[in-house]
Homo-oligomer: A and B are copies of this chain.
Amino acid sequence: MKQESVLVVGSIAFDDLEMPHGTYEGVLGGAATYSALAASVLGPVQIVGVVGDDFPDAHLDLLRSRKVDTTGVERVTGKTFRWRGRYSEDLASRTTLDTQLNVFANFRPKIPESYRKTPYVLLGNIHPALQLEVVDQIEHPRFVAADTMNFWISGEPVTLAALLKKVDLLIINDEEARELTGIQNLCKAAADIRRRGPTQLIVKRGEHGALLFDPHGTFFVPAYPLEEVNDPTGAGDSFAGGLMGYLARNHSAAGSPHTMRRAMFYAAAMGSFCVEKVGPARIEELTLQQLGRRLDDFRALVDFGGTLTLSAAEA
């Protein structure tokens, strides 16, 4: 069966990470980078983003070696987007120390001709007006997913509302869901968001898993419990990439109520690999076999034998 491609649009960056176990300067980062590398474990990926003239060819070579088409990576004069953050001792929270948008400040995503029929589109967290421009450049996308953040929720509500009418799936965290709706209860907030456009909503809760709200009901996937967590950077973007990669790989089963639920496990598995090493190091070396084994472990984590009858005698 022909494998469908995933188009990923978003930031490509250098991250300076101040972790309890050390400081790591100039690590390859950015939402699009993490999502593309994660999705590419499952199938072909196309990436759209911008880098400066300081961006090493080796990073682009890495992406290409992982089946990521980099035709859409624009290189312009100036410096690449750079983010510096400090993590708390338990890695549960982080503080942004510095954001240098650099060439990303004037980013206007241009979708190459060869990407314009790509059916699965992941809009990383950029200005909703740019996300809209991307959607308009794709011919009949089959499935559009978007991330956003508090900055756009409070600053660009009208444009964000227009975007929501064009996306099938919104992927945000619980605080963003509450801020977007002004509703504290997640179930009610989710219903409110789904009335605004996206028929499907994923609410990420970091180390506490993620919830899917779609026409088939509510579904929950836990975060995979790990013995070693080294760097949460990019886990949410890897989650989104894993999800889209699985959906594209299984496009023929898109109508099944279980397809998106299974995709949630692939998403969470990808997030769990991402945090094992600093930067995207674990994702960029991940094999399909390793992913399959993590899925087996994941299945065991939630296996209760299928039935929940009142007594074994009734089973």
Contacts and interface: CB of A to CB of B under 8 A. Distances in A.
B259 A218 contact: no
Interface stretch (A63-71, A111-119, A205-213): A205-213
A141 interface: no
Interface string A288-313: 10011001101111111111101111
Contact of A310 (B185, B256, B292): B292
Contact of A209 (B208, B256, B308): B208
Copies in the complex: 2
A225 B187 contact: yes
Contacts of A310: 42, 249, 288, 291-292, 295
Interface in A211-243: 211, 217-220, 222, 225-229
Contact of A262 (B186, B292, B305): B305
Nearest to A89: B184
A286 to B, nearest CB: 13
A265 interface: yes
- Which one of A217, A261, A295, A308 has the highest number of Cβ atoms from chain B below 10 Å of its Cβ? A308
A295 B313 contact: no
Nearest to A90: B184
A82 B313 CA distance: 42
A165 interface: no
A225 B186 CA distance: 8
A282 to B, nearest CB: 17
B262 A304 contact: yes
A253 interface: yes
B208 A308 contact: no
B209 A209 contact: yes
Contacts of A307: 262, 299
A315 to B, nearest CB: 8
B250 A312 contact: yes
A140 interface: no
A301 B225 contact: no
Contact of A211 (B225, B249, B250, B299): B225
Contacts of A154: none
Contacts of A142: none
The 7 closest A-B pairs by CB, nearest first: A253-B312, A258-B305, A208-B208, A261-B304, A220-B222, A295-B308, A187-B227
Given A250-B311, A298-B308, 6 more contacts: A1-B313, A219-B303, A258-B305, A262-B305, A295-B310, A306-B306
